[in-house]
Amino acid sequence: MSDALRDPPAMDIIFDTARIRSSPETEASGYAGRVGLVHGFTVPSETGVGPVIGEVGDGAAINVHFDDLDEGAWFAPSLVEVRS
């Protein structure tokens, strides 16, 4: 198991509201500033999910679902601002 999942802070944020931070990647994808719900997390290098917006390396990614778009996307944690 990856170190990113041994003590995952993401477990505490499942179904919390999240805002996507502005960055070149989130601006280009159209997600910058959008608000959604955290629907999951994983380590893409181990599970093969993707694409992931932002750089995660061997770390975890967070899935945020946007009701208004009826879709979700995977993001580097640094691009997700969780609002409990």
Contacts made by residues 3-10, CB under 8 angstroms, sequence distance 24+ = 4/43, 4/58, 4/59, 4/60, 5/42, 5/43, 5/60, 8/41, 8/60, 10/38, 10/40, 10/41, 10/60, 10/62, 10/77
DSSP codes of every residue in 5-27: HHS-GGGGGTT-EEEEPP-HHHH
Query: Residue 74: what pLDDT?
Result: 97
Query: Residue 22: what pLDDT?
Result: 98
pTM: 0.85
Give the DSSP letter of residue 84: -
The domain segmentation of the chain, as residue ranges, is 3-83
Query: Residue 10: what pLDDT?
Result: 54
* Tens of each residue's pLDDT in the chain, 84 residues: 344 444 555 567 888 999 999 999 999 999 999 999 999 989 999 999 999 999 998 889 999 999 999 999 999 999 999 987
